[in-house]
Amino acid sequence: MRTEVPMRFEAFSFGSIRIDGVTYEHDVLIDHGQVRKRKKKASKKFRAEFGHTPLSLEEEIPWRCRALVIGTGTGALPVMDEVKQEAKRRHVRLLVLPTAQAIEALKDNPEETNAILHVTC
């Protein structure tokens, strides 16, 4: 379901983000205006390889969009090459940015953009 009113990103700091009056203290996935927790358990097996749990194709990724914004925190969230290749295959524009910049990018075209935002580092 698409939202009529753009999402309001009210605050972002290390470890939390507030969207539409709700504070989240974990990574979030935004799919057509719906916010839910990023479930990264499936990607944890790649942690040793990257030094941090990366975003992998093993996770739920909200592909049904024209653009997918990945907020990397301060730059710590690795995005696996397979995710980048899948975005190309699906003709989804992938924007990988520090989370503060990713939030700004989401404001540009919110009805056609989904996101995964890393907020914990």
> What one-character-per-residue DSSP string does 9-22 give?
EEEEETTEEEETTE
Tokens representing 96 are 């990988």
Query: What is residue 111's predicted lDDT score, i.e. its pLDDT?
Result: 82
Domains of the chain: 9-117 (3.40.1230.10)
Of 105 and 5, which is predicted with more confidence? Answer: 105
- The closest alpha carbon to 116, from 83, 81, 88, 90, belongs to 83
Instruction: With beta carbons less than 8 A apart as the criterion, state whether 106 and 6 touch.
Output: no
Query: What is residue 6's predicted lDDT score, i.e. its pLDDT?
Result: 75
Query: What is residue 5's predicted lDDT score, i.e. its pLDDT?
Result: 63
* Cβ contacts of 46 within 8 Å, gap of 6 or more: 53, 54, 56, 80
Query: What is residue 2's predicted lDDT score, i.e. its pLDDT?
Result: 47
Name the average pLDDT for the chain. Answer: 92
Per-residue model confidence as pLDDT tens digits over 71-119: 999 989 999 999 999 999 999 999 999 999 999 999 877 788 999 999 9
Q: How confident is the model at residue 7 (pLDDT cuts 50, 70, 90)?
A: confident
Query: What is the pTM (predicted TM-score) of this model?
Result: 0.92
